[in-house]
Amino acid sequence: RMDKMPERIECFDNSNISGTEPVAGMVVFENGKPNKSLYRKYKIKTVNKQNDYAYMAEILTRRYGKGEKSKPYPDLLIVDGGKGHLNIALSIIKKFKLEKNFEIIGIAKKPARLAPACHCEARAGRLRSIAGRDVSRGETNDKVYQPGRANPVNFGREGDLLLFLQKIRDEAHRFAISFHRKRRNRKSMHSILDTVPGIGKKRKETLLKHFGSIDKIRQATIEELVSVPGISRKIAEALKLK
């Protein structure tokens, strides 16, 4: 059982492909609803190889390791992962002596996850009673782990609470993977621009200033590219061939 209603919930997820461009995202739900103004993106800075546990340790250290500057704390911290991720999170929280400040859970994904509609924001407060009941469909759902429990939490008839937790975890996953894709696409496009004869640093900056983003450069027609000062038709055609 939780000691109080989780008015503020923070959830973390990492995203990378084979260790490239590793990032993480934090989403915040307040009173059962996402508060996107409090979402945070993190670029992994201290881990040079693929290690999901190390990514999580770095991000949680950056979020909760600043003393008073780390406030406000959540009432509930969710990490995307099973017992291993939960243990990493717990070790970081204990390192900063915060284990009495908020609850922690980990959500392990089932092999193939559907995304059912969830209309359960108003029931967020009932998370205080999620533990201790059996559920016949438990093996078909994602598994929720708490510190000190060997087995996953059983929800009984409170399946909507599990859906609510999944909704938060899925939002963290969406947010993290979206950030990763943007970074990967930007890096890919910069690499492409570097291979086009006639496009140097100045012209790359001009293209970005004109179109506003790498994606819009990619989507631009030859005529739109040619309209940019310094971009000839030859350069535009070479760019579109990439």
Determine what percent of the chain falls in helix, strand and coil, rounding each to the nearest 5.
45, 15, 35
Contact between 52 and 19 (Cβ < 8 Å): no
Spatial distance between the Cα atoms of 56 and 47, rounded to a whole number of angstroms: 10
- Bridge partners, residue 10, by sequence: 28, 77
- CATH number of the domain that residue 79 is part of: 3.30.420.340
State the pLDDT at residue 21. 76
- Shared domain for 64 and 34, answered yes or no, is yes
State the pLDDT at residue 116. 44
- Shared domain for 66 and 139, answered yes or no, is yes
State the pLDDT at residue 79. 97
- Provide the pairing of β-strand 103-108 with 76-80: parallel
- Shared domain for 139 and 201, answered yes or no, is no
The domain total for the chain is 2
Which residue type sits at 174? R
In Å, what is the CA distance from 42 to each residue of 15, 33, 97, 202? 10, 22, 23, 28
- Shared domain for 165 and 216, answered yes or no, is no
- CATH number of the domain that residue 223 is part of: 1.10.150.20
Spatial distance between the Cα atoms of 223 and 204, rounded to a whole number of angstroms: 17
Would you say residue 188 lies in a domain?
no
Residues of the chain with pLDDT below 50 are 113-125, 128-140
Contact between 54 and 62 (Cβ < 8 Å): no
- Shared domain for 127 and 230, answered yes or no, is no
Range of the domain at 226: 195-240
